[in-house]
């Protein structure tokens, strides 16, 4: 077990929070190496920072890509960016949720994968997920004063600039942990696709009333029935779209049918074309471009790992009046909306069942092997206790 000593910063006043017993994080050291236990006996919270005790984290496909060496990551790091937890300490000057409400010790929350500065040119125009000083939970190297950087831990140190959203006590942790990646990304993708089709998606908060069927009569195809694609298909269907979801895996198609979706093999995609195509696997970009109808839109969500370039028929796109957009991560407002959707219409669907197995934190290596195996559930969970 390694001990991480907290070094107080000199540039700002920090609120020291001793942890007894010490917080535990699973440190990833590199491809082919087992995780090591990192003990953190305390943290020093800068103003507006928040310390969260993790309730559950889930393993995302990008975590698997990292440990397999398919995407670069600095080491040592604490993986995990899909989590739900409870606030146990707050830095000086307090902290606020995305909706502007003050956060309090005891609040149950989810948080953004990104930490943004809030004042660079990208942040000022709303592209906070592409901040010029961006940091990301589960992707950042462990450093002094910020050791608890990812969800594969008992606690996470949320820095100022993180989008934090309070979530209901009644929702299961298995449904909430993926909100900060799969759900929010899916929401952002559907909202972008709807906008490209001239449709505005309303506030999904339960208090805002029923969502308007802004995608009514829209023919929507989602390629990939992983959790991002599945969630995007459910959101589009709840917004009135005529949705089909395509995946080559019969088990994933069967699971999608539990969400009242029409699930088909990619070989059975209709030839007449779709108004909106959402590519959520990273492996079907060519198929997405082929499936869109005249005047339609293609939203690419899944291409977040290295892959071979895809040939582009520019003439078809131009003559077909096709719009192609990429969506990566999300804003704080989109995270808030995704959590509201899950607390509203999302309750009608068995999202918690996407987490097919849960392991103790110490068994993270076993959990990662299970998550990467053929036929794995959409998510495998980790709990610190």
Condensed to tens digits (0 to 9), the pLDDT of residues 158-195 reads 999 999 999 999 999 999 999 999 999 999 999 999 99
The CA radius of gyration of the chain, in Å to the nearest whole number, is 21
pTM score of the predicted model: 0.93
Whole-number pLDDT of residue 385:
79
Mean pLDDT of 113-119: 97
Q: pLDDT grade, residue 3 (50/70/90)?
A: very low
Q: Which residues pair with 17 in a beta bridge?
A: 43
Helices (H) and strands (E) in the chain, counts: 10, 17
Whole-number pLDDT of residue 379:
99
Tokens of 371: 């998550």
Q: In what order do the strands lie in the sheet with 2-3?
A: 2-3, 36-45, 15-27
Q: Which residues pair with 172 in a beta bridge?
A: none
User: 42 Cβ partners below 8 Å, 6+ apart?
Assistant: 6, 16, 17, 18, 19, 22
Contact present, 49 and 91 (Cβ < 8 Å): yes
- Matching CATH topology for 2-180+350-383 and 183-326? no
Whole-number pLDDT of residue 213:
83
Whole-number pLDDT of residue 205:
67
Res. 236: pLDDT tops 90: yes
Whole-number pLDDT of residue 308:
87
Whole-number pLDDT of residue 193:
97
The three-state DSSP-derived secondary structure of 61-106 is HHHHHHHCCCCCCCCCECCCCEEEEEEEEECCCCCECCCCCECCCC
Tokens of 100: 């502007």
Whole-number pLDDT of residue 305:
84
Res. 371: pLDDT tops 70: yes
Q: Which CATH number fits domain 183-326: 2.40.30.10, 3.30.70.2190, 3.40.50.720, 3.40.309.10?
A: 3.40.50.720
Give per-residue pLDDT as tens, 35-46.
999 999 999 999
What is the domain partition of the chain in residue ranges? 2-180+350-383, 183-326
Per-residue DSSP letters for 247-312? -S-HHHHHHHHTTT-EEE-GGG--TT-EEEEEE-SSS-HHHHHHHEEEEEEEEE-S--S-------
Percentage of the chain beyond pLDDT 90 is: 88
Give per-residue pLDDT as tens, 203-226.
786 555 555 689 999 999 999 999
d(CA 75, CA 140): 8
Res. 108: pLDDT tops 70: yes
Q: Where are the beta strands (DSSP E) in 172-248?
A: 219-223, 242-246
Burial of 303 (0-12, 13-18, 19+ CB in 10 A): middle
Tokens of 113: 């994968």
Count of all residues that appear for the chain in the document: 385
Residue 110, SS3 per DSSP = strand
How does the average pLDDT of the chain come out, rounded? 94
Give per-residue pLDDT as tens, 266-285.
999 988 899 999 999 999 99
Res. 7: pLDDT tops 60: no
Q: Does domain 2-180+350-383 have CATH number 3.90.180.10?
A: yes
Give per-residue pLDDT as tens, 310-362.
999 999 999 999 999 999 999 999 999 999 999 999 999 999 999 999 999 99
């Amino acid at each position: 077990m390694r001990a991480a000593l907290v070094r107080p910063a000199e540039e700002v006043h920090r609120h020291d929070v001793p942890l007894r017993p010490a917080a535990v994080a699973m440190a990833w050291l590199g491809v082919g190496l087992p995780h090591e236990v990192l003990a953190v006996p305390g943290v020093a919270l800068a103003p507006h920072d928040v310390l969260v005790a993790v309730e559950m984290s889930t393993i995302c496909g990008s975590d698997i890509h990292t440990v397999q060496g398919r995407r670069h990551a600095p080491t040592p790091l604490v993986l995990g960016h899909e989590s739900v937890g409870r606030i146990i300490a707050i830095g000086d000057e307090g902290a606020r949720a995305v909706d502007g409400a003050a956060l309090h010790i005891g609040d149950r929350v989810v948080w953004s994968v990104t930490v943004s500065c809030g004042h660079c040119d990208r942040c000022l125009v709303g592209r906070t997920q592409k901040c010029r000083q961006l940091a990301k939970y589960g992707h950042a190297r462990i450093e002094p004063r910020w050791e608890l950087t990812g969800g594969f831990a008992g606690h996470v140190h949320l820095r100022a600039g993180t989008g934090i959203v309070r979530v209901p006590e009644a929702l299961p942790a298995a449904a909430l942990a993926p909100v900060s990646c799969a759900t929010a990304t899916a929401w952002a993708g559907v909202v972008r696709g709807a906008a490209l089709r001239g449709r505005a998606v309303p506030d999904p908060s339960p208090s805002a009333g029923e969502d308007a069927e802004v995608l009514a009569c829209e023919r929507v195809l989602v390629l990939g029935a992983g959790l991002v694609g599945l969630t995007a298909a459910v959101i589009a269907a709840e917004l009135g779209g005529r949705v089909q979801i395509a995946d080559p895996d019969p088990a994933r198609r069967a699971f999608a049918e539990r969400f009242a979706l029409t699930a088909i093999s990619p070989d059975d995609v209709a030839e007449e074309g779709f108004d909106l195509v959402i590519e959520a696997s990273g492996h079907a970009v060519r198929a997405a471009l082929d499936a869109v109808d005249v005047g339609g839109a293609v939203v690419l969500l899944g291409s977040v790992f290295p892959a071979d370039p895809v040939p582009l028929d520019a003439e078809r796109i131009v003559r077909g009046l096709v719009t192609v957009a990429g969506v990566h991560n999300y804003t704080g407002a989109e995270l808030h909306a995704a959590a509201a959707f899950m607390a509203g219409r999302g309750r009608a669907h068995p999202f918690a069942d996407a987490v097919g197995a849960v392991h103790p934190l110490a068994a993270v290596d076993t959990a990662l092997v299970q998550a990467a195996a053929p036929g794995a559930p959409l998510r495998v969970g980790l709990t610190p206790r």
